[in-house]
Structure 1
Amino acid sequence: MSQPKEEKAAKIPKGIKFLFGGGAGMAATIFVQPLDLVKNRMQLSGEGGKSKEHKTSLHAIRSIMKNEGLRGMYTGLSAGLLRQATYTTTRLGIYTTLFEMFSKDDKPPNFMMKAGIGITAGAIGAFVGTPAEISLIRMTADGRLPVNERRGYKNVFNALSRIVQEEGVLTLWRGCIPTVGRAMVVNAAQLASYSQAKQLLCDTGYFHDGLVLHFCASMISGLITTAASMPVDIAKTRIQNMRIIDGKPEYSGAFDVLSKTIRKEGFFSLWKGFTPYYARLGPHTVLTFIFLEQLNNFYNVYVLHNENAASGL
Structure 2
Amino acid sequence: MAQDKAEKVIPIPNGYKFLFGGTAGMMATCFVQPLDLLKNRMQMSGAGGKAKEYNSSVQALISIIQKEGVFTLYNGLSAGLLRQATYTTTRLGIYTWLFDLFTFDGKPPNFAIKASIGMIAGVCGAFVGTPAEVALIRMTSDGRLPPDKRRNYKSVIDALLRIWKEEGITTWWKGAVPTMGRALVVNAAQLATYSQTKQWLIGTGHFQEGIICHFFASMIAGLITTAASLPVDIIKTRIQNAKAAAGQKQPALFDVLTVIIKDEGILALWKGFMPYYFRLGPHTVLTFIFLEQFNSAYRRLHRHDNN
Q: Please say if residues 167 and 244 of structure 2, whose CA atoms lie closer than 8 Å, have aligned partners that are also in contact.
A: no
CA distance in 2, matches of 1:147, 1:235: 25
The structure that is helix-richer by fraction is 2
- Residue 296 of structure 1 corresponds to which residue in structure 2? 295
Alignment gaps of 5+ in structure 2: 1-7
Match of 1:28, as an amino acid? A
Report the secondary structure of 2:74's partner residue. Answer: coil
What is the aligned-residue RMSD (CA, Å)?
2.3
Q: Deviations over 1:66-92 (max 9, x none)?
A: 111011111101100111111111113
Tell me the CA shift for residue 257 of structure 1. 1.1
- Structure 1 unaligned residues grouped into runs of 5+: 1-7, 306-313
Q: For residues 16 and 35 of structure 1, do their structure 2 counterparts lie closer, same or farther at Cα, with a shift above 3 Å needed?
A: same
Change (3 A) 1:103 1:199: farther
Give the distance between the partners of 2:85 and 2:213, measured in 1 at CA.
26
Count of equivalent residues = 297
| Residue of structure 1 equivalent to 2:265 | 266
The percentage of counterpart residues that share the same residue type is: 65
**Equivalent residues in 2 for 1:135-214, closer than 5 Å:** 135-202=135-202, 206-214=206-214
SS of the residue corresponding to residue 281 of structure 1 reads helix
CA distance in 1, matches of 2:225, 2:21: 19
Residue 106 of structure 1 and its aligned partner are, at CA, apart by 6.6
Q: Using the alignment, how far apart are the partners of 1:91 and 1:73 within structure 2?
A: 27
Worse-matched range after superposition: 97-106 or 270-279 = 97-106
Q: 1:195 to 1:293 in 2, by over 3 A?
A: farther
Q: What's 2:253 paired with?
A: 254
Alignment of 1:54-93 (within 5 A): 54-93=54-93
Instruction: State the 1:209 CA deviation.
Output: 3.2
Instruction: Name the residue aligned to 1:38.
Output: 38
- In structure 2, what is the Cα distance between the partners aligned to 1:147 and 1:29? 28
Query: Residues 72 and 157 (structure 1 numbering): CA distance in 2 closer, same or farther, change over 3 Å?
Result: same
Counterpart amino acid of residue 268 in structure 1 = L
- Do the aligned partners of 2:223 and 2:277 also contact (CA within 8 Å) in 1? yes
- 3-state DSSP class of the match of 1:73? helix
TM-score, normalised with respect to structure 2: 0.89
Cα pair distance change 1:206/1:58, threshold 3 Å: closer
AA aligned to 1:121 is A
Is contact 1:218–1:289 with CA below 8 Å preserved after alignment?
no
The CA distance in 1 between the partners of 2:76 and 2:275, in whole Å, is 16
TM-score by length of 1: 0.87
Conserved 8 A contact 1:29-1:81:
yes
